[in-house]
Structure 1
């Protein structure tokens, strides 16, 4: 993967470059699924966190859990979740917009004072398309999407996942970017495109 290709992964819609990784151990909690799916989602998060060389924990001292994943059938359900409005400002108008656009997923991040990721929220409306996807594939895709602050278009045309025979796996080039991104020599936050060259040099 060339530096230009790496740079595109972290380029915003306005053309600016913005990279951020987690600054604290990840503590996932999953809502709206059975125990079997819960284990699959947490297993996928743990696999990606291990790949990154990052850490998980039992609790976050500030938030309790800092990676929240919600599975549901209708966007109208979310505003009814107690206290969720405190975590996601303007939740009701947001859900109305997402419903109007036919969206089946949405992710929101929160950042610490340095700009590093301190929390992420994943919302998955289980429409026909998502319901047909194997739980392992869906879980791995979401784990990849929240391990870094990717650009909005990073995976718009190409999935971060691939196939090895019958198995769905993380693409080796994306796995290499994730590993490099958590190199302790590199900053947790970067807005200069030259950061992409430092990342590419570690692939």
Structure 2
């Protein structure tokens, strides 16, 4: 039996630590590119993107007219490798100070979103420093987790207490059904791409009931 998210639970997933409600989804087709990994992991990541985009009812494309690729995932061992990536400092102007901060906190992942003039997501940069913790996570689990967290602008505290994924009895890891239903509802074309109104959670909750009836 799957849990159904309440409006308050949905609102919490998009309410930031400073108390601001902010919902945003992608406003353009997603074009992924992966750096720093082998072909096997590359295919796993792209498979995760395709699965989550299909779940959302959104689109992918071969190229983004503005950036070429707009969902960029970087796998590396040391934060100091990032400033050496050609052109990355143009995409992320404050890259130097950011790397120093992430090094100081010994972070192993970081995500940056960019938005269009409407406030919809136009790009996402995902940085994964493959320390002992991340290296121990199966590629399929890591990829699915990262793509789920990149398909919407979740709260900065959204999945700290409970993962978006769940382990099945056989050991396979899947997206929690209620989170999958919320992603699908979030991409309902009737709903706005961006909202700063907590009442948006009520509209999402109403569509969860409809999706559960199919």
Q: TM-score, normalised to structure 1's length?
A: 0.99
* 1:89 positional shift: 1.6
Aligned CA RMSD, in angstroms, stands at 0.5
* 1:159 positional shift: 0.5
Q: Secondary structure at the match of 2:26?
A: coil
Find the counterpart in structure 2 of residue 35 from structure 1: 39
- Per-residue CA deviations over 1:169-198 (Å, capped at 9, x if unaligned) read 000111011000000110000000000000
Q: Secondary structure at the match of 1:150?
A: coil
* 1:14 positional shift: 1.0
CA distance in 2, matches of 1:181, 1:89: 30
Pairing partner for 1:8 from 9, 12, 25: 12
Find the counterpart in structure 1 of residue 211 from structure 2: none
CA distance in 2, matches of 1:156, 1:115: 25
CA distance in 1, matches of 2:204, 2:168: 26
Q: Does residue 1:53 correspond to 2:57, yes or no?
A: yes
- Per-residue CA deviations over 1:112-170 (Å, capped at 9, x if unaligned) read 00000000000000000000000000000001000000000000111100012221000
CA distance in 2, matches of 1:33, 1:16: 36
Q: Does residue 1:167 correspond to 2:172, yes or no?
A: yes
Pairing partner for 1:63 from 64, 67, 86: 67
Matches within 5 A, 1:85-124: 85-124=89-128
Q: Structure 2: which 5+ runs fail to align?
A: 209-214
Q: TM-score, normalised to structure 2's length?
A: 0.94
Deviates more, 1:144-153 or 1:84-93: 84-93
* 1:199 positional shift: 0.3
Segments ≥4 residues shifted beyond 2 Å: none
Find the counterpart in structure 1 of residue 191 from structure 2: 186
- Per-residue CA deviations over 1:58-95 (Å, capped at 9, x if unaligned) read 00011100000000000000011111001112101101
CA distance in 2, matches of 1:72, 1:80: 12
